[in-house]
Amino acid sequence: MRISLIQKDIIWEHKSANLTNYDSLLSGLSRKTDLVVLPEMCTTGFSMQAAQLAEANDGETMKFMRQMARDYGFAITGSFIGKGYDEANDNFNRGFFICPDGRATFYDKRHLFRMGEEPEHYQAGNDKCLINYMGWNIRLVICYDLRFPIWCRNTDNEYDLLVVVANWPETRAHAWQSLLTARAVENMAYVCGVNRVGTDGLKIKYSGDSQLINAYGSVLSSVKPGIEQIQTLEIDKDSLNRFRKKFPVWKDADKFEIL
């Protein structure tokens, strides 16, 4: 499977401008990739203006993403500011995975970044997200989730690829890179982490440092920090399965129950 890492600046709280930029970028990837990975809150940046910016799963952002997936023939994943499913005024940092046929899977971020006041504006999700696409089992998590290994635990090889979409500040770039590698090694899976670049409306700077890492902990990508860049790489499930068979540490993993 071919994966495209979209390391990009995000125009602060301007959905339509960001969507137009993505359309321009992604049109050039038609027939060249199978999965496009965008950063966290890819149409707004890490904004706490949830009440003003939240939208439904059939709103502007998801309609646009579905159309791009259909038109260009690949899956798209990232996150946006999503509305709750009932009459309550609950909003979520909502991950999405849109297949070329329009099929959509959603994931509400489990771990909210309290240092950025995220819990004051968003509700936490409770359900894990597992997608089957092109014969791959893919798990989607969002930014701060990366710090919690039990939440990311790959029990009995339930996933082959962990996708982490983020707005992870430059000041903690070392932690970002280290945790991506740790999740790949301990879970014996590919890990794809895509982070934004640029400076947001709160003057927080992001260096990107987007990476694709294999189950050995080797970095396969060469995305440069601090600049907008797209890189497409191919991952191989057969080699992953051979490694898991040859070195089956997953059989000795501790069993955790997430309540």
pLDDT tens profile 12-22: 999 999 999 99
For the beta sheet containing 211-213, the strands, ordered from the edge strand earlier in sequence to the opposite edge, are 130-133, 136-142, 161-166, 190-195, 211-213
Distance from the Cα of residue 189 to its chain's centroid: 15
In the predicted structure, residue 228 carries a pLDDT above the cut 70: yes
Token pair for 162: 């962990």
Cα–Cα distance, 62 to 200 (Å, whole number): 23
Known catalytic membership, residue 129: no
**At a CB cut-off of 8 Å and minimum separation 6, what does 103 contact?**
none
Cα(90)–Cα(128) distance, integer angstroms: 19
Q: Which residue has the higher pLDDT, 120 or 256?
A: 120
Give the pLDDT band (50/70/90) at residue 258: low
Which whole number is the average pLDDT over 184-190? 98
**At residue 259, does pLDDT exceed 60?**
no
Catalytic residue among 13, 15, 40, 192: 40
How distant, in Å, are the alpha carbons of 43, 45, 47, 200, 235 from that of 9? 10, 9, 14, 9, 26
Confidence of residue 87 (pLDDT cuts 50, 70, 90): low
Integer-rounded Cα radius of gyration of the chain: 17
Work out the average pLDDT over 119-142: 97
What distance, in Å, lies between the first and last C-alpha atoms of the chain?
33
Judge residue 231's burial from the number of C-beta atoms within 10 Å of its C-beta, 0-12 exposed, 13-18 middle, 19 or more buried: middle
User: What pTM does this model have?
Assistant: 0.97
Q: Reply yes or no on whether the pLDDT at 121 is more than 80.
A: yes
What does the pLDDT average to over 198-223?
98
Produce one character per residue of 100-139: b if its CB has 16 or more CB atoms within 10 Å, e if not: beeebbbbbbbbbbeebebeebbbebeebbebebeebbbb
Q: Which sign, positive or negative, has the C-alpha torsion 36, 180, 10, 94?
A: positive
Q: Which of 15, 42, 109, 118 is catalytic?
A: 109
Range in 46-55, 84-93, 118-127 the model is least confident about: 84-93
Q: What is the pLDDT averaged over residues 113-137?
A: 97
Q: What average pLDDT does range 46-50 have in this prediction?
A: 97
pLDDT at 89: 73
State the pLDDT at residue 85: 81
Token readout for 60 is 């502007």
Measured distance CA(241)–CA(221) in Å, rounded: 21
Among the listed residues 42, 99, 129, 143, the single catalytic one is 143
More confident residue, 25 or 254: 25
Tell me if 109 sits within 8 A of 143, measured CB to CB: yes
At what angle are helices 60-72 and 15-27 packed, to 10 degrees? 10
Beta bridge partners of 252: none
Nearest residue to 111 (alpha-carbon basis) of 148, 138, 166? 148
Is 60 exceeded by the pLDDT of residue 150?
A: yes
pLDDT score of 86? 72
More confident residue, 4 or 255: 4
Q: Catalytic: 13?
A: no
Phi, psi of 73 (to 5 degrees): 75, 30
Residue 241 pLDDT more than 80? yes
The reply to whether 109 belongs to the active site is yes
The per-residue pLDDT of the chain, averaged, comes to: 96
